[in-house]
Amino acid sequence: MTPGSEQIRATIARDGQSDTFKAAGGTVLANACGPCIGQWDRQDMPMGEKNTIVTSYNRNFVKRNDGNPMTHGFVASPEMTTVLALTGDLGFNPTTDTFKGADGKEFKFDSPYGDQLPETFDPGMNTYQAPLADGSSVTVIVDPASDRLQLLDPFAAWDGKDIEDCDILIKAKGKCTTDHISMAGPWLKYRGHLDNISNNMLIGAVNDTNGEVNSVRNSIDGSYAGVPDVARAYKAANRPWVVIGDDNYGEGSSREHAALEPRHLGGRAVIVKSFARIHETNLKKQGMLPLTFANSADYDKIDGHDKVSILGVTDLAPGSPITLRVAKQDGSSIDISLLHTFNENQILWFKAGSALNSMKGL
């Protein structure tokens, strides 16, 4: 059981519901994302064994809850999930069936009814700590040897030029959720350390060029390596790179690291058939260019080993045209029309290098 907020946690603790869940053998987690983003340290099922879970968390992607690709996750209401947890029977129908309780008697559930809701809610603890009115003398100290925490350096501002001669880090094929872009599970311990968590960038995406996961070609020496490794090689060589993606790129949870990591490792743009809306905005916040094909069929005209230039960035304005010039491996080139959804304020983010830079006046 995961309370949805501090208010819910405090209210169910006040009204005894937390104790009821615990007495029934349940575990009450912190009021945070929890299993929704893969923070379930599951011990009861061997990895790779087929099994079924029923959850009221709003995520049922493969491996999402427990990291097991053979777990079949079904989403149900909290009431139905509770019934199945208590009976242990996926075929149990609470409107007609009974089960034997601890006292040996047959038990039948009452239908849920609305007046069980509390008349008042407990606001819980106020954990907000207001900043000092003048924070100029404040120094945040982080152990430089820590692998869990790292101070962020501002991203570089836009240099005022079009983005030319870019490598294609990966042409992602098919579904590419934020979990493919920045996996959860054990990686979440690094969420306070951008460089370390960036080692999971796009390691779940399928490379259209070879059909493999976490295997892309380094155009510098022709070798194949993991996606983050090649991105780091390009960054060290001061070579800009882009990602090409399919439909609904970045669907799933609103995972900020899925936009932070490409920016940190030297990415300049993500060019796709279509975006999940929140991820598109997150990319803009980090100073990336989220662009879509004017004609989605143009995705098929690009090979993952091509080089690309993004033209029209110098005239970036709401609704302005952007051209992707694709340098083919045979020496020819083609121009592809791209679209963007930047508004005036988001253009300021891009020019400053990120929304934070813009807010700070950098």
Residues 112 and 21 in one domain: yes
Residues 233 and 310 in one domain: yes
pLDDT at 39 > cutoff 70 = no
Average pLDDT over residues 187-212: 96
Residues 238 and 346 in one domain: yes
In a domain, 86, yes or no: yes
pLDDT at 43 > cutoff 90 = no
With tokens 């493969």, the residue in question is 62
pLDDT of residue 254: 80
- Smallest Cα–Cα separation from 201: which of 156, 139, 261? 261
204 or 2, greater pLDDT = 204
Residues 182 and 294 in one domain: yes
pLDDT of residue 167: 98
Average pLDDT over residues 141-155: 95
The CATH number assigned to the domain holding 48 equals: 3.30.499.10
pLDDT of residue 35: 67
In a domain, 17, yes or no: yes
288 or 255, greater pLDDT = 288
pLDDT at 38 > cutoff 70 = no
In a domain, 143, yes or no: no
In a domain, 136, yes or no: no
Q: How far is CA 27 from CA 17, 148, 163, 205, in A?
A: 12, 26, 51, 34
- Smallest Cα–Cα separation from 187: which of 46, 39, 34, 47? 39
pLDDT at 318 > cutoff 90 = yes
Residue 9 identity (one-letter amino acid): R
In a domain, 133, yes or no: no
Average pLDDT over residues 236-252: 96
Measured N-to-C along each axis, helices 257-264 and 277-285 cross at an angle, to the nearest 10 degrees, of: 40
Residues 59 and 175 in one domain: no
End residue of a domain, out of 116, 132, 150: 116
Residues 89 and 220 in one domain: no
Local confidence band at 4 (pLDDT 50, 70, 90 cut-offs): confident
pLDDT of residue 234: 98
Could you tell me which residues come within 8 angstroms of residue 202 by beta carbon, excluding any fewer than 6 positions away?
169, 170, 172, 176, 180, 181, 214, 227, 228, 243, 262
Residues 180 and 328 in one domain: yes
Give dist(CA 341, CA 294) in Å, integer.
12
In a domain, 158, yes or no: no
End residue of a domain, out of 57, 84, 116: 116
Q: Which domain holds residue 202?
A: 163-360
Average pLDDT over residues 28-51: 81
In a domain, 147, yes or no: no
Residues 71 and 184 in one domain: no
Q: Which pTM was predicted? A: 0.79
Residues 234 and 310 in one domain: yes
- Lowest pLDDT segment from 36-40, 168-172, 358-362: 36-40
Residues 245 and 351 in one domain: yes
pLDDT at 249 > cutoff 90 = yes
pLDDT of residue 59: 75
pLDDT of residue 330: 92
End residue of a domain, out of 116, 139, 174: 116
In a domain, 232, yes or no: yes
Are the CB atoms for 204 and 190 separated by under 8 Å?
Answer: no
pLDDT of residue 34: 66
pLDDT of residue 280: 97
Residues 200 and 76 in one domain: no
pLDDT at 64 > cutoff 90 = no
Q: How many domains in the chain?
A: 2
Residues 254 and 341 in one domain: yes
The whole-chain average pLDDT of the chain stands at: 93
Local confidence band at 37 (pLDDT 50, 70, 90 cut-offs): low
Average pLDDT over residues 157-170: 97
pLDDT of residue 240: 97
Average pLDDT over residues 87-95: 94
The CATH number assigned to the domain holding 259 equals: 3.20.19.10
